[in-house]
Amino acid sequence: MSLRPALLAQLLSFDDEAFVALANRGLLRRAYKDLESNPPRLLEEGAEHLLLECGPYQLRFDPRGPAFAQCSCPASGVCQHILACALGLREILAEQGPPLAPGAEPEPAPDQRQALLNSLLTLPHAELLKHGGKPGYRWAWQFVMDLDLEQELHLGGEHNLTLTLGTPPLTLRYMGGPLGGMLADQRSGALEKYQVAAVLALRRMQGLELIAPVPLGGANAESSPTLREATRSRLRQGARQLLEESVAVGLAHLSQAMQQRYVTLAVWAQGADYPRLALSLRRLADQVQLLLERAAGADGQRLFDELSRCYALLQALTSAAQRGEEPARLLGQARSQYTPSTALELWGLGANAWRSASGYQGLSLVFWSPAQQVFLSCTEARPELQRGFNPLLRYRNPGPWSGLLSPGHASGRRLSLMGAQVNGDGRLSVAESVQAAVLEPLTAAQWQQLPAAADWSALLLARSAQRRSLLTPARPMNDWALLQPAAVGTVQFDSTRQILVWPLHDHQGATLWVELRYSAYTRHAIGRIEQVAGEPWIEGSQLVARVYEHAGRLIAEPLSLIRADAAPGQPLLDALHFDLAPATATPLAAVDEALDSPVQEVLLPSCHLLPEFAGWLCQQAERGVDPQVASGVDQALQQRGLTLRAAGYSAFERMAPEAGVPARLIIAHYLCLQYQHLQAAGGDIPAS
């Protein structure tokens, strides 16, 4: 591509937010004023550069775009003249194209966003390695492998390509040109590794293989057990010492040297086959870097929370090593592994289409395994940029396994899978080698074998028992449940939040709220629920739903309805997101208004002592523990611990009195987080 088209393609992708990321909002305002009073003038055009004049200064643009433009003014970096010339040059170059309306901004070509995506996907591996360096590429590769694409990668942008990745989020904008021209919404001294990570994340999103970095030398998982444990012991001791030193110095006073120590320990932990510890240390390194840069995403509270969880993980790993154990839930996994199964019987519970904030859309099927007595799922997902995939139409098309006419044929039926593969999170692989045989529809007797929840308080206690410790990994399939309400209330649609709300009552009068946010994917389900709520509720009917906690109460997201009054020849399972209403459905006017009397909600407990104590601990950690004030902090910590123990929080009796004050602050904060986690989950506070 010649100089003019290459520059014009980039300039058309620059909107105001991109120019702000290139410089700042104040310089952009000055640039617009300069553009009105003294528009730039093209002086010279060469094969590889354009020379422009803006007032008394001359500027040079090349095919790399505005991020690499040079100005003769004394300002360092990107100045207002570069912005003014970029805005003016866009109009100059666009004059050869279609005429623009007065005051209108030229629009990029319809396929410009796809062209930007293809440009990043086709970058050679050698260029990524050169841009980030070997350490930067190694960090970026591991960062992307640990990334939850559905939760921590957001793809967007209208005129350009924006990627928001990680926690805390960092937004990168790409308008074309070399990778170094990718801009970040926050100033970062290590931008190159994030630019490489953005490209690798896009490739992983597209299902492309990522080239692993060259492994580091030294002890790793293949070393002898004695040498590996010696290495891990030194690692745990070094990490624990760094965490305590961070609190002693003060989280608000950390240095770049300490941030580099976190990075080094994270690489060491990865080599010692401690993936979960490596991920925690990388998060701490990123948080410290944000604090050093005074970035908008910096948060001392979040840093102290992550530091406390990392300290507890180190303690748990040390205790397990002393017992000669290596529990997988503490070590973690670098990547999810699927376990093959010869034969697996599944009961289809329905499906739903969805779209994530990260730009993914997909279709998820939910099953019950009668042999394992657990919920399993199978998901097909694609980026929205990938054409030809519609999750709503996918429900009626063949697959996802050989022998299955469509996902719709699995709902309400028994399936037999040969060669199925299941990972630890209860997700089924969609490998083509899996063979599916559709058996007869499920009978009423078989549906009654599923464990149903009819008491919302018992459901809350069961959920809290599943994850009582902060160190217990989350199991998404444990959120699914079969609900059997005694009665239902009137369905309503909250127009402010765009959410359907439907109360379910148990025999004790407690309420569990069904909520479903409106979208193109849930529109059919919302209409079906309004029809179901308009019918008299039949005792014994059940609802398949995902149950979670939000704003202090339990919420259920419905998937399917199991009808207790299904007519002969009609299926018992009503897939709310796809099935049509049965012919026996009654109009909405048949709602029983008596069910809308005030009832008791299942609310989650709260306490003001823990947040106050956690806030005080965070203040001390940010301030630091100077040796001259350590005794005073220790006395205050003991006094506050006595107050909490008197209130029933007896775990504060075991705060390791032999440890130093920084370590005790960390332990106390972790106990606060653990208690708050138990209370939020509705669990009983342990007595000891």
Q: What is the pLDDT of residues 648-666, one digit of tens each?
A: 888 887 666 678 899 999 9
Mean per-residue pLDDT, 350-375:
88
Residue 104 is classified by DSSP as P
* 558 and 497 fall within a common domain: yes
450 token code pair: 């599923």
Residue type, 186: Q
SS3 628: coil
Please tell me the total count of domains within the chain.
6
The pTM is what? Answer: 0.60
* 393 and 472 fall within a common domain: no
Residue 219 lies in a domain: no
Residue 238 lies in a domain: yes
Distance in angstroms (rounded) separating the CA atoms of residues 394 and 380:
9
Residue 157 lies in a domain: yes
Distance in angstroms (rounded) separating the CA atoms of residues 369 and 344:
8
Q: Which residues pair with 430 in a beta bridge?
A: none
Distance in angstroms (rounded) separating the CA atoms of residues 382 and 377:
16
Q: Which residues pair with 455 in a beta bridge?
A: none
Residue 623 lies in a domain: yes
Distance in angstroms (rounded) separating the CA atoms of residues 489 and 513:
10
Mean pLDDT of the chain: 84
Q: Which of 581-590, 609-618, 657-666 has the lowest mean pLDDT?
A: 581-590
For residue 180, the tally of other CB atoms under 10 A from its CB is: 14
CA neighbours closer than 13 Å in the CB half-sphere of residue 521: 20
pLDDT tens for residues 215-237? 655 444 445 678 888 999 999 99
* 198 and 233 fall within a common domain: no
pLDDT tens for residues 29-40? 999 998 888 899
* 558 and 632 fall within a common domain: no
114 token code pair: 């796809």
pLDDT of residue 687: 36
pLDDT tens for residues 306-325? 999 999 999 999 999 998 88
Higher pLDDT among residues 455 and 593, named by residue: 455
* 460 and 592 fall within a common domain: yes
Q: Percentage of the chain surpassing pLDDT 70?
A: 86
Distance in angstroms (rounded) separating the CA atoms of residues 421 and 430:
8
Distance in angstroms (rounded) separating the CA atoms of residues 657 and 635:
12
* 32 and 96 fall within a common domain: yes
Q: Please choose, from the candidates 216, 209, 270, the residue with its C-alpha nearest in 3D space to the C-alpha of residue 239.
A: 270
Residue 83 lies in a domain: yes
pLDDT of residue 260: 94
For residue 511, the tally of other CB atoms under 10 A from its CB is: 19
Q: Please choose, from the candidates 310, 306, 304, the residue with its C-alpha nearest in 3D space to the C-alpha of residue 615.
A: 304
For strands 50-54 and 57-61, give the pairing.
antiparallel
8 Å CB contact between 571 and 621: no
Residue 526 lies in a domain: yes
Among left, alpha and beta (phi > 0; psi -120 to 50; other), residue 186 is: beta
pLDDT band at 590 (very low <50, low <70, confident <90, very high): very low
What is the domain range of residue 159? Answer: 114-205
* 423 and 470 fall within a common domain: no
* 9 and 92 fall within a common domain: yes
User: Of the candidates 577, 601, 625, which is a domain's last residue?
Assistant: 601
* 551 and 658 fall within a common domain: no
Mean per-residue pLDDT, 55-73:
92
pLDDT band at 336 (very low <50, low <70, confident <90, very high): low
Chain-centre distance for alpha carbon 19: 28
User: Of the candidates 560, 576, 601, which is a domain's last residue?
Assistant: 601
Distance in angstroms (rounded) separating the CA atoms of residues 203 and 205:
5
For residue 519, which phi and psi values (nearest 5 degrees)? -160, 175
* 201 and 310 fall within a common domain: no
Residue 129 lies in a domain: yes
Distance in angstroms (rounded) separating the CA atoms of residues 176 and 66:
10
For residue 154, which phi and psi values (nearest 5 degrees)? -120, 130
* 324 and 417 fall within a common domain: no
pLDDT tens for residues 527-585? 999 988 888 898 899 999 999 877 557 899 999 999 988 877 788 999 999 988 654 43
* 100 and 141 fall within a common domain: no
pLDDT band at 606 (very low <50, low <70, confident <90, very high): very low
Helical packing angle, 125-145 and 275-292, nearest 10°: 110
User: Of the candidates 441, 470, 491, which is a domain's last residue?
Assistant: 441
Alpha-carbon distances of 282 from 257, 336, 445, 458, 619, rounded to whole Å: 15, 19, 51, 39, 23
Mean per-residue pLDDT, 369-388:
85
Residue 448 lies in a domain: no
Q: Which of 491-495, 563-567, 662-666, 679-683 has the lowest mean pLDDT?
A: 679-683
Distance in angstroms (rounded) separating the CA atoms of residues 663 and 238:
14
159 token code pair: 């005129």
